[in-house]
Structure 1
Amino acid sequence: MPAQLLCPRCQQDWVRPYRFRSDGTPFFLCTECDSLWWPDEAIDEAQAHFLDDVVAARLGVGGNPWSSRVWGDVIEPVLDIHC
């Protein structure tokens, strides 16, 4: 991934590396539109997942996964991601 990649979905922010705090699973995220990509996926509009859906599925909750938690409880930015 280039050092700076404009989000292909919203074109409003950069796609940056993040990981899940619970197990370190890496992913790429646009914090403007909450689009998420796994490291083995092409970062394009067609491959984008919605962060809320992924987090809800990982936590086994329905609906809004943020009702009793904040991003920092679940995910964190990383400086370097190896894909």
Structure 2
Amino acid sequence: MVVARTPCPECGQDWVHPYRFTDDGSRFYLCTECDSLWWPDQSIGVDRPAPVDEVVAERLNIIGNPWVDRVWADVMEPAPKTN
């Protein structure tokens, strides 16, 4: 997981935060400003992020907008800090 605060290389408007999916605890990094998502094996600032909407729709096996009848807290949450 990212230890130091990392500014989002896509939008520069927020920090990249550690998150996890609530169903299985899978971790990822997310910019909550531009909704860019990186997996732990990706290099932030080098690898292209995925749009969080597409990742969530795929995980839920939904075509289109996954937020029609749910909110972020139904699917993901900030990950606890790890040392």
TM-score, normalized by length of structure 1? 0.92
TM-score, normalized by length of structure 2? 0.92
* Root-mean-square deviation (Å): 1.5
Identical-residue share of aligned pairs (%): 55
For residues 18-75 of structure 1, give each alpha carbon's deviation from its aligned partner in whole angstroms, at most 9, with x where no partner exists: 0000000000000000000000000126421000000000000011000000000000
Structure 1 equivalent of residue 63 of structure 2 = 62
Structure 2 equivalent of residue 35 of structure 1 = 36
Confirm or deny: 8 A CA contact 1:6 1:14 kept in the other structure.
Answer: yes
CA distance 1:56–1:68, change in 2 (3 Å): same
Letter in 2 for 1:24: G
Q: How many residues align?
A: 82
Q: Does 1:73 align with 2:74?
A: yes
Structure 2 equivalent of residue 18 of structure 1 = 19
The answer for unaligned runs of 5 or more in structure 1 is: none
Q: Which runs of 4+ in 1 moved over 3 A?
A: none
Rounded to whole Å, the distance in 2 between the matches of 1:3 and 1:59 is 31
Rounded to whole Å, the distance in 1 between the matches of 2:60 and 2:82 is 23
Rounded to whole Å, the distance in 2 between the matches of 1:51 and 1:81 is 22
Structure 1 equivalent of residue 7 of structure 2 = 6
